[in-house]
Amino acid sequence: MNLKSRFTCTVALALSGFCLPTLAAPGEIPAPPTIDSKSFALLDFDSGELLAGNEPDARVEPASITKVMTTYVAFDEIKHGRLKLSDTALVSEKAWHQGIDSSESRMFLTLGSRVTIEDLLRGIIIVSGNDASIALAEHIAGSETAFAELMNQEAQKLGMKNTHFVDSSGLPDPDHYTTAHDLALLGRALIRDFPDGYKIYAERSFKYGIEHAQENRNGLLQKDPSVDGIKTGHTNAAGYCLLSSASRDGRRLISAVMGAPSWAYREQASLELLNYGFRFFEKASFLGPTAPAATIKVYKGAESQLAVGTLEPVSLSLPRGSKDQLQMQQQIESKAIAPIVAGQVLGKLTIQLNGKDLKTVDLVALKDVAKGGFWRRFIDQIKLWLGL
Give the whole-angstrom CA distance, residue 111 versus residue 95: 8
Kindly provide the b/e burial profile for residues 279-312, where b requires at least 16 CB atoms within 10 angstroms of the residue's own CB. ebbbbbebbeeebbbbebebbbbeeeebebbbee
Q: Is 304 a catalytic residue?
A: no
- What beta strand segments (E) does 11-132 contain? 39-44, 50-54, 88-90, 114-116
Active-site residue, from 39, 47, 64, 317: 64
Provide CB contacts within 8 A for 97, sequence distance 6+: none
**Residue 267: its H or E element:** helix 263-280
Decide: residue 17, CB within 10 A, 0-12 exposed, 13-18 middle, 19+ buried. Answer: exposed
Give the whole-angstrom CA distance, residue 254 versus residue 189: 11
Active-site residue, from 67, 231, 300, 323: 67
Active-site residue, from 105, 128, 244, 315: 128
- CA Rg, the chain, in Å? 26
Handedness of CA 375, 380, 381, 385 (dihedral sign): positive
Q: Is 207 a catalytic residue?
A: no
Task: Measure the N-to-C terminal CA separation of the chain; round to a whole number of Å.
Answer: 11
Q: What are the CA-CA distances from residue 54 to residues 42, 240, 281, 337 (Å)?
A: 9, 16, 18, 49
Q: Is 67 a catalytic residue?
A: yes
Q: What are the CA-CA distances from residue 6 to residues 189, 329, 346 (Å)?
A: 35, 6, 13
Decide: residue 21, CB within 10 A, 0-12 exposed, 13-18 middle, 19+ buried. Answer: exposed
Question: What SS3 class is residue 111?
Answer: coil
Give the whole-angstrom CA distance, residue 35 versus residue 270: 9
Question: What SS3 class is residue 170?
Answer: coil
Give catalytic residue positions. Answer: 64, 67, 128
